[in-house]
């Protein structure tokens, strides 16, 4: 699989499975309120016609389902056998990493360690920044998160991980690529890959979600026009 592609792969025999995953996850995100269309002011100051917030998923049934989607994407991409530890950046990445680890064991018979970070180091008890499985030298780490808008928060996580042990960051997997550009004309995900040499895989991108929403009557033509106009102004090139 090439970097920065959604987890669909290029092999014809795998495409139907990947397309199914994209459609199912897109519908799940919309119906659970994790992706909304409207008008939302972002931290960057931009006013976006779509908003991605996996923090809206707040019950056991839906979190279990979300973990299953990530687990399927990891297995379909052939990454499970190349992952020693799943890492969830605080805060939204924490339940993603935990639920994905559980789903990998429950649905695929694969046990992978997980951990996550505190925002501030603990100076009592076990101490430190890392909660869950300790990081070990040589660990191949997959970072799981919801989105990547600019990549700044992911840069901070790299420092946390590399200060804990001599690990290899195998990939970053996000649920949705917003397709916004970074500092250059390419997407923030592609820019991050070029800067750090780490694969960024998105299970779906905002166009996948929009297409599914339109087909289900969960988004309007006006929503589609607003998304297209926004990406025309702020979207980045994939290459």
Catalytic residue IDs = 122, 124
Length of the chain: 239
For the chain, helix, strand, coil in percent to 5 are 45, 25, 30
**Do residues 143 and 157 make contact, with C-beta atoms less than 8 angstroms apart?**
yes
Which residues pair with residue 87 across a beta bridge? 115, 143
Contact 67, 103 (CB under 8 A): yes
84 class by beta-carbon count within 10 Å (0-12 exposed, 13-18 middle, 19+ buried): middle
């Amino acid at each position: 699989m090439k970097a920065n592609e959604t987890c669909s792969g290029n092999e014809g025999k795998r495409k139907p499975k990947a397309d199914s995953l994209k459609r199912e996850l897109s519908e799940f995100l919309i119906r659970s309120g994790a992706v909304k269309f409207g008008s939302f002011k972002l931290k960057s100051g931009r006013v976006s016609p779509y908003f991605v917030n996996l923090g809206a998923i707040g019950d056991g049934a839906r979190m279990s389902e979300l973990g299953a989607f990530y687990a399927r994407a990891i297995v379909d991409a052939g990454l499970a056998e190349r992952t020693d530890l799943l890492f969830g950046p605080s805060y939204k990445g924490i339940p993603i990493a935990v639920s994905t680890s559980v789903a990998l064991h429950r649905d695929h018979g694969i046990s992978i360690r997980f951990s996550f970070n505190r925002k501030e180091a603990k100076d009592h008890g076990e101490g430190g920044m890392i909660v869950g499985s300790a990081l070990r030298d040589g660990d191949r780490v997959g970072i799981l998160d919801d989105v990547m808008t600019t990549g700044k928060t992911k840069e901070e996580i790299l420092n946390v991980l590399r200060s804990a042990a001599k690990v290899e960051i195998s990939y970053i997997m996000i649920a949705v690529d917003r397709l916004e550009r970074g500092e250059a004309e390419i997407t923030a995900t592609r820019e991050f890959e070029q800067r750090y040499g780490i694969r960024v895989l998105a299970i779906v991108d905002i166009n996948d979600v929009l297409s599914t929403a339109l087909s289900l009557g969960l988004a309007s033509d006006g929503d589609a026009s607003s998304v297209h106009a926004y990406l025309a102004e702020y979207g980045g090139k994939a290459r």
